[in-house]
Amino acid sequence: MTDKIWIFKNKKLKESAVNETAQKHHISRTIATILLNRGIKDEEISAHLKKSMSGIINPTLMLDMDKAVERINTAIQKNEKIAVYGDYDVDGITSTALLYEFLSSLDADVEYYIPDRKGEGYGINIMAVNKLVKKHIKLMITVDCGITAIGEVEFAKLQGMDVIITDHHTCKDRLPTAAAAILNPKRDDCEYPFDALAGVGVAFKLILALAMSHGMNTNEVFSRYVDIATLGTIADVVPLLGENRIIVDKGLKLMQIPRRKGLHAIMEVAGILGKTVTASTIAFAIAPRLNAAGRLGTATTAVELLLTDDENRAREIALSLNEENKERQATEKQIFDEAAAMIAKDVNFSKKKVIVLAHENWHQGVIGIVASRLCDMYYKPCILISHSNGIGKGSGRSIRSFNLFDALSHCEKHLTDFGGHAVAAGLNINMSDIDAFTAEINKYADSTLTDQDMIPTVEIDCPLSERSVTLENAKALSNLEPFGMGCEKPVFALSAAQIANIAAIGADSKHLRLRISKNNCLINCIGFGMGEFASSLKCGDLINLAFQMDINSYQGYDSVQLLIKDIKPSK
């Protein structure tokens, strides 16, 4: 059994509010509870459920959008060379492909550049600027990066190159004001009403604004590029609310039969072609393969995959990315094993609230994934640093109670650079400062994290009776899709159910299969990665389950099954 804390969100709701919402919007009390639990206000519920195009905000409301559109149109009219400067993750890859393809459709003289993760690192760098200057680039447009590149933008301007920044990362106190325009809805002075766009979302808004300036049909432009925008939005784990929800909903529908040869190829290689495409499909089947290009090789191949109209070339790239993803998984396992061994040897580990591990020549493209796994395993913020010649580059992941960006800001004097979000961030550090940094961030964590914060939680929408676990209700929940951050798949609790059957299944008995019984209702359950529970359970035990309702389709027959999130003994 686990020691996770179960938090029932519905306890914060008034029964009258749930009943009123259910009646007003003609939905069940359970659906009303779920929506209210997620902080979706009464006036937002209709739009949340309908996912209508009317919810797409006018892109010209974003600060500096007029400046960006004017400068780009001037470059096109003067036939100036334009470079789209991207990033090597899926958000950056899709942003690059989207903007490059659209500018090409306007007959712009455009190319794209993505820095090498190992050789150059994240964001704008002086070496890359010099390369672009030598190619006579007059306008550089960043996507998914640039908001902290003050010195680099000033350098570019001195070389006669204008820079337009499109980014969505958290802004520091100073902005790169030498830029011709800065598009970032997180700017304090930006009044754009939705600040949770992914990097590709900001790039998407830019092409829609450009389309408006050229008198184009923006609905057609939206439909043409929304599949790419959906990939980056899901992969970057931004809240699937507001505009993001509409983008992803429309994009997933179009991806059921992918029109892009690259998407068709990567879906075929991943074994999901012809199957229902969901946000989870993108996150666990497509995104890792696209990410593999930037992690172990060059991200430009993934951009080419999204852009190519050559079926043979698309399949060639897709197969290559699939192999790189396998190599990434092997590298990830090696780093994970080494990191776990370092933790096992640390006699003071239990006293530290933040995990900071450094190792020479760990692959920089993989340490973020391993940090995420360690963060989940130990429920502590985790930062892994790969170093060479005294210089370290790190990637961190955090728990929900610890804002990693704020923590790094507090420790800024020990870092040469950093950036990111509350739950994920990157940093550069001189290894001579590693001990001081480790001590400082743990001191900060001691002052901000309580013992309660360090215990993992399971957030539950509401208790559910066994009579409510039906195929009809499971199908009704699907109306709330797409699920993702901020609109998570609902979790319910069932109490005092008796175990009727138990088995550890799958390779190495990795998964748990249960059949439970309550008041003559028999319910099938599956717990992925929970096979070890089988040894501590026995038939006849009374248990409480935290679960998600799922539809299991087998040989044309649909049935409801529970996806187990946690198990506790019933008192």
Helices 42-50 & 15-25 angle (0-180, nearest 10): 40
Closest among 182, 266, 177 to 227, alpha carbons compared: 266
CA distance 399 to 387: 25
List Cβ neighbours of 411 (8 Å cut-off, separation of 6 or more): 437, 440, 441, 444
pLDDT mean over 2-17:
90
**One-letter amino acid for residue 304 of the chain:** E
Pair of tokens at residue 430? 């001189």
CA distance 567 to 546: 6
Confidence of residue 293 (pLDDT cuts 50, 70, 90): confident
Closest among 239, 280, 329, 230 to 528, alpha carbons compared: 280
Pair of tokens at residue 511? 């998964």
**One-letter amino acid for residue 231 of the chain:** L
CA distance 203 to 165: 10
CA distance 277 to 269: 14
Instruction: Check residue 301 and give its pLDDT.
Output: 93
Q: Which residue do the tokens 């050559």 mark?
A: 310
List Cβ neighbours of 520 (8 Å cut-off, separation of 6 or more): none
pLDDT mean over 257-285:
94
From residue 513, how far is each of 394, 397, 504, 531, 538 by CA, in Å?
A: 39, 31, 6, 8, 12
User: Are the beta carbons of 330 and 351 closer than 8 angstroms?
Assistant: no
On the CB side of 444, CA atoms within 13 Å amount to 21
CA distance 366 to 344: 21
Instruction: Check residue 118 and give its pLDDT.
Output: 73
User: Are the beta carbons of 468 and 548 closer than 8 angstroms?
Assistant: no
CA distance 51 to 40: 14
- Computed over every residue of the chain, the mean pLDDT equals 94
Instruction: Check residue 2 and give its pLDDT.
Output: 59
User: Are the beta carbons of 454 and 2 closer than 8 angstroms?
Assistant: no
User: Are the beta carbons of 35 and 486 closer than 8 angstroms?
Assistant: no
Closest among 294, 291, 289, 283 to 321, alpha carbons compared: 289
Residue 259 has pLDDT above 60, yes or no: yes
DSSP string, 364-403: TTTHHHHHHHHHHHHTS-EEEEEEETTEEEEEEE--TT--
List Cβ neighbours of 81 (8 Å cut-off, separation of 6 or more): 109, 110, 111, 135, 136, 137, 138, 139
List, for residues 328-353, the tens digit of each pLDDT value.
Answer: 899 999 999 999 999 999 999 999 99
CA distance 207 to 108: 13
List, for residues 445-498, the tens digit of each pLDDT value.
Answer: 999 999 999 999 999 999 999 999 999 999 999 889 999 888 999 999 999 999
Closest among 566, 492, 489, 558 to 527, alpha carbons compared: 566
Phi-psi region of 308 (alpha: psi -120 to 50; beta: other; left: phi over 0): beta
List, for residues 184-235, the tens digit of each pLDDT value.
Answer: 999 999 999 999 999 999 999 999 999 999 999 999 999 999 999 999 999 9
List, for residues 24-74, the tens digit of each pLDDT value.
Answer: 999 999 999 999 999 998 889 999 999 999 999 999 999 999 999 999 999
Share of the chain above pLDDT 70, in %: 99
Pair of tokens at residue 206? 């830019």
Instruction: Check residue 41 and give its pLDDT.
Output: 86
46 exposed, middle or buried (CB, 10 Å; 0-12, 13-18, 19+)? Answer: exposed
User: Are the beta carbons of 524 and 562 closer than 8 angstroms?
Assistant: yes
For residue 196, the SS3 value is coil
- CB-CB neighbours of 297 under 10 Å: 19
CA distance 417 to 248: 33
Pair of tokens at residue 442? 């743990």
Q: Where are the beta strands (DSSP E) in 125-271?
A: 137-143, 162-166, 181-183
Listed range (344-358, 396-410, 415-429, 459-473) with the worst mean pLDDT? 415-429
